[in-house]
Amino acid sequence: MRVLDLGSGNGPILAALRDQGCVAIGADIDFVALQKCSERGHRVVQARAESLAVRTASVDGVVCKVVVPYTDEARVVAEIGRVLRPGGTAQLSYLAAGYYFRYLLLGPGVRRRVYALQTLVNTWWYAVTGRRLPRFLANTLYQSNRRLVRYYGAADLELVADPPARRFLRLPVYIYHELRKSHDAARADAHQSE
Ligand X SMILES: C[S@@+](CC[C@H](N)C(=O)[O-])C[C@H]1O[C@@H](n2cnc3c(N)ncnc32)[C@H](O)[C@@H]1O
Residues interacting with ligand X, by CB under 6 A?
Answer: 7-9, 12-13, 28-30, 33, 48-50, 65-67, 70-71
- How far apart CA 146 and CA 159 sit, in angstroms, is 12
Residue 5 CB, shortest distance to ligand X, in Å, is 7
- Residue closer to ligand X by CB (options 179, 182) is 179
Residue 85 CB, shortest distance to ligand X, in Å, is 21
- Residue closer to ligand X by CB (options 48, 132) is 48
**CA 59 from chain center: how many Å?**
16
Please calculate the CA angle 120-121-124 and round it to the nearest 5 degrees: 85
Residue 179 CB, shortest distance to ligand X, in Å, is 17
Torsion of CA 8, 54, 29, 159, to 10 degrees: -50
- Residue closer to ligand X by CB (options 29, 57) is 29
Residue 150 CB, shortest distance to ligand X, in Å, is 20
CA distance readout (Å), 50 to 29, 90, 117, 152:
11, 16, 25, 15
